[in-house]
């Protein structure tokens, strides 16, 4: 058996743990040859692959990033290198040439959509859900999320003490694209006073009222804002900025905008911190190592059983799998019920439009 493996989209803590689990399981249990595909789908387009040895995948469990490299714009159905040409047939041909029985693809919603289309063309694929954003359908968790939340929480802990010492409003901007999962979880874990999510449009006036009320009592305020948070009045439609701005202009958009707007309403000093890619770098947490290893082992079982066209998933604490078509082109934002439950646990915290 010959199996290709690739990592698509942005990097994420735990990718190497999955690669290790997939490769070791397949090598040991099926005697499979594992082919590492470099830089995501770009490696299939540009014919850059290498056989992975047992040694290549040893000692990488705790290492951040991906030993295979990744490329977040490499799409065989619209290849940027040839003016958006569809090169999917070449990709399929190359996989056949290599004699791959299956490709295991680690990625987010974009990667899963590509996987679904390649599967429809007859290429056997097994997907593994990856993203710090935790916004994939059909899985309760993606690996990388816990690490991102842990890093953002640590940042909030540190902003609490410096914010308190200087009686300042401290704004932390987290990643997460269109979903507020990282901001919500880190905001609660880090005791933020205001948490702004894409799922609840906010107004600057209401945030300012919270800051003012706290200024009168505790004299400092911690705001945790998701990069996709959107102002209700449409003055700051961050979603559009995310879609239309070239990187890295997007990062720091909402925190810095909010700082400028708030300073029109309150007299406190305001400081911003944009965590950016710090949330994605470095070693995965223990939780993410376990989840990534479980996902990788499960993916290898699917390959061994020839259950292709599926993505591994965690549902209600159980490892399972779902059809790729159930996840392709879909994202999972924070549902109102999750916000309600978590809000109840977060005493004194304001979500989106704040109610003090």
Indicate the burial class of 30 (C-beta count within 10 angstroms; 0-12, 13-18, 19 or more): middle
331 near ligand F6P, rule: CB under 6 A: no
Number of residues in contact with ligand F6P under rule CB under 6 A: 12
Q: How far apart are CA 350 and CA 261, in angstroms?
A: 18
Q: Which stretch binds ligand F6P (CB under 6 A): 35-43, 128-136, 300-308, 309-317?
A: 128-136
Q: How far apart are CA 211 and CA 194, in angstroms?
A: 9
Contact characters 57-86, ligand F6P, x per CB under 6 A: ---------------x--------------
Of the candidates 116, 141, 280, 332, which one interacts with ligand F6P according to CB under 6 A? 280
Quote the tokens at residue 323: 């059809």
Q: Which stretch binds ligand F6P (CB under 6 A): 126-134, 158-166, 218-226, 298-306?
A: 126-134
Report the run of H or E that residue 47 belongs to, with start and end.
none
Q: Which stretch binds ligand F6P (CB under 6 A): 87-95, 131-139, 163-171, 198-206?
A: 131-139
Contact 35, 5 (CB under 8 A): yes
177 near ligand F6P, rule: CB under 6 A: yes
User: Residues annotated in the binding site, as ranges?
Assistant: 10, 73-74, 108-111, 131-133, 168, 175-177, 227, 271, 277-280
Q: How far apart are CA 275 and CA 149, in angstroms?
A: 11
Any idea how long the chain is? 356
Task: Indicate which residues carry an active-site annotation.
Answer: 133
User: Residues annotated in the binding site for ATP, as ranges?
Assistant: 10, 73-74, 108-111
Select 228 or 352, whichever has its Cβ closest to ligand F6P.
228
Q: N- to C-terminal Cα distance for the chain?
A: 61
Q: How far apart are CA 161 and CA 150, in angstroms?
A: 17
| CB of 148 vs ligand F6P, minimal distance in Å | 8
131 near ligand F6P, rule: CB under 6 A: yes
| CB of 27 vs ligand F6P, minimal distance in Å | 30
Q: Strands, DSSP E only, in 136-254?
A: 169-174, 194-196, 221-226
Q: How far apart are CA 227 and CA 255, in angstroms?
A: 8
Q: Looking at beta carbons, which residue is closest to ligand F6P? A: 175
40 near ligand F6P, rule: CB under 6 A: no
Q: Which stretch binds ligand F6P (CB under 6 A): 169-177, 207-215, 321-329, 335-343?
A: 169-177
Select 32 or 151, whichever has its Cβ closest to ligand F6P.
151
Of the candidates 175, 292, 303, 339, which one interacts with ligand F6P according to CB under 6 A? 175
Q: Strands, DSSP E only, in 30-124?
A: 33-37, 49-52, 102-107
| CB of 12 vs ligand F6P, minimal distance in Å | 7
Q: By three-state DSSP, how is residue 232 classified?
A: coil
Q: How far apart are CA 323 and CA 119, in angstroms?
A: 11
Q: How far apart are CA 56 and CA 214, in angstroms?
A: 54
Q: How far apart are CA 186 and CA 27, in angstroms?
A: 38
10 near ligand F6P, rule: CB under 6 A: yes
The residue ranges that bind ligand F6P (CB under 6 A) are 10, 72, 108, 131-133, 175-177, 227, 247, 280
């Amino acid at each position: 058996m010959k199996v290709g493996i690739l990592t698509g989209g942005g990097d994420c803590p735990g990718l190497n743990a999955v690669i290790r689990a997939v490769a070791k399981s397949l090598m040991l249990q099926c005697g499979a040859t594992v082919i590492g595909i470099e830089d995501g789908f770009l490696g299939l387009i540009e014919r850059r692959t290498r056989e992975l040895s047992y040694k290549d995948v040893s000692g990488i469990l705790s290492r951040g990033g991906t030993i295979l490299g990744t490329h977040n714009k490499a799409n065989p159905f619209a290849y940027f290198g040839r003016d958006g040409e569809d090169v999917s047939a070449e990709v399929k041909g190359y996989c056949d040439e290599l004699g791959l029985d299956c490709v295991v693809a680690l990625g987010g919603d974009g990667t899963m959509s590509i996987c679904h289309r390649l599967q429809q063309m007859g290429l056997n694929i097994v997907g593994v859900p990856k993203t710090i954003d935790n916004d994939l359908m059909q899985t309760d968790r993606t690996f990388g999320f816990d690490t991102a939340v842990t890093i953002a929480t640590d940042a909030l802990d540190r902003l609490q003490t410096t914010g308190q010492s200087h009686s300042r409003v401290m704004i932390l901007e987290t990643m997460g694209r269109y979903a507020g999962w990282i901001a919500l979880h880190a905001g609660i874990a880090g005791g933020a006073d205001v948490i702004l999510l894409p799922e609840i449009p906010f107004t600057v006036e209401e945030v300012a009222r919270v800051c003012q009320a706290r200024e009168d009592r505790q004299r400092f305020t911690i705001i945790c804002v998701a990069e996709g948070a959107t102002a209700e009045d449409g003055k700051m439609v961050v979603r559009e900025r995310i879609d239309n701005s070239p990187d890295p202009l997007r990062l720091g958009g909402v925190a810095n905008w909010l700082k400028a707007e708030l300073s029109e309403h309150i007299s406190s000093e305001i400081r911003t911190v944009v965590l950016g890619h710090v949330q994605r770098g470095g070693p995965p947490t223990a939780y993410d190592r376990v989840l990534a290893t479980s996902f990788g082992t499960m993916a290898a079982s699917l390959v061994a059983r020839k259950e292709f066209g599926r993505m591994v998933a965690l549902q209600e604490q159980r490892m399972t799998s779902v059809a790729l078509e159930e996840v392709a082109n879909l994202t999972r934002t924070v549902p109102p019920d999750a916000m309600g439950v978590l809000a109840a646990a977060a005493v004194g915290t304001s979500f989106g439009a704040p109610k003090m």
